[in-house]
Structure 1
Amino acid sequence: MARPTVDAHVHFWDLDKFQYVWPREEQETAIFDNFYPCGYEEALVESGCPVKNGIFVQVVNNTVAETDWVLDMATRHKCIVGVVGWIDMCGSDDEVDKELQRLSQNPLFLGLRHILDLEEPGWIEKKEVRRTLGRLEKLNLTYDILLRPHSLHYAADVAQDFPDLRLIIDHLAKPKIKEGEFDDWAKEMSRAASFQNVYVKLEMSGMVTEADPQCWKPCDLKPYVQHCVKSFGAHRCIFGSDYPVFKMVGATYKQVYDALMECLLDCTTEEERGAIFGENAVRFYQVKVPLVE
Structure 2
Amino acid sequence: MNNNTAVFVDTHVHFWELKRFPYTWPNEGAGIMYQDIFPSDYALDVHDTPVKNAIFVQVLNKNHPENEWVFDLAKTNKWIVGVVGWVDLTDPNVESILKNAAENPLFLGVRHLLEFENREWLGRDDVQNGLKALEKLNLTYDLQITPPSLHWAADIAAKFPNLRFIVDHMSVPYIKDHIMEGWKEGIIEAAKHPNVYCKLSELVTAAGPNWKASDIKPYVEHCVKNFGAKRCMFGSDYPLFKIEGATYTDVYQLLKECLMDCTTAEEREGIFGKNAVDIYRIKVPLYM
Q: Name the TM-score class by shorter chain.
A: over 0.9
| Cα offset, 1:292, TM superposition | 1.1
Deviations 1:35-69 (A, max 9, x none): 11111111111xx1110000000000021000111
* Aligned partners of 1:53 and 1:292 also within 8 Å: yes
Extract unaligned runs of 5+ from structure 1: none
Match for 1:242 among 227, 237, 249?
Answer: 237
Q: Aligned pair 1:80/2:83, yes or no?
A: no
Deviations 1:54-103 (A, max 9, x none): 000000002100011101111110110000000111112x2x12321111
Q: Counterparts of 1:121 and 1:165 in 2: how far apart (Å)?
A: 20
| Cα offset, 1:210, TM superposition | 2.2
Residue 76 of structure 2 aligns to a residue whose secondary structure is: coil
Q: Aligned pair 1:207/2:203, yes or no?
A: yes
Q: Counterparts of 1:80 and 1:208 in 2: how far apart (Å)?
A: 23
Give, as a single letter, the amino acid of the residue that structure 2 aligns with 1:227: H
Give, as a single letter, the amino acid of the residue that structure 2 aligns with 1:53: N
Which residue of 1 is the match for residue 31 of structure 2? 29
Q: Counterparts of 2:95 and 2:138 in 1: how far apart (Å)?
A: 14
Which residue of 2 is the match for residue 2 of structure 1? 5
Which residue of 1 is the match for residue 20 of structure 2? 17
Q: Counterparts of 2:212 and 2:153 in 1: how far apart (Å)?
A: 28
Give, as a single letter, the amino acid of the residue that structure 2 aligns with 1:209: T
Which residue of 2 is the match for residue 40 of structure 1? 42
Q: Aligned pair 1:254/2:254, yes or no?
A: no
Residue 110 of structure 1 aligns to a residue whose secondary structure is: strand
Deviations 1:207-258 (A, max 9, x none): 3222231x21011100100000000000000000001111111110000110
Which residue of 1 is the match for residue 166 of structure 2? 168
* TM-score, normalised relative to structure 1: 0.96
| Cα offset, 1:23, TM superposition | 1.5
Extract unaligned runs of 5+ from structure 2: none
* Aligned partners of 1:156 and 1:192 also within 8 Å: yes
| Cα offset, 1:183, TM superposition | 2.1
Residue 75 of structure 1 aligns to a residue whose secondary structure is: helix
After TM superposition, the runs of 4+ consecutive aligned structure 1 residues lying more than 6 A away are none
* TM-score, normalised relative to structure 2: 0.97
Q: Counterparts of 1:67 and 1:98 in 2: how far apart (Å)?
A: 16
| Cα offset, 1:143, TM superposition | 0.4
Residue 166 of structure 2 aligns to a residue whose secondary structure is: strand
* Aligned partners of 1:41 and 1:79 also within 8 Å: no
Which residue of 2 is the match for residue 146 of structure 1? 144
What RMSD in Å do the two structures reach over aligned CA positions? Answer: 0.8
Give, as a single letter, the amino acid of the residue that structure 1 aligns with 2:147: P
Count of aligned pairs: 285
Q: Counterparts of 2:199 and 2:162 in 1: how far apart (Å)?
A: 19
Which residue of 2 is the match for residue 68 of structure 1? 68
Match for 2:277 among 265, 275, 282?
Answer: 282
Q: Aligned pair 1:223/2:215, yes or no?
A: no
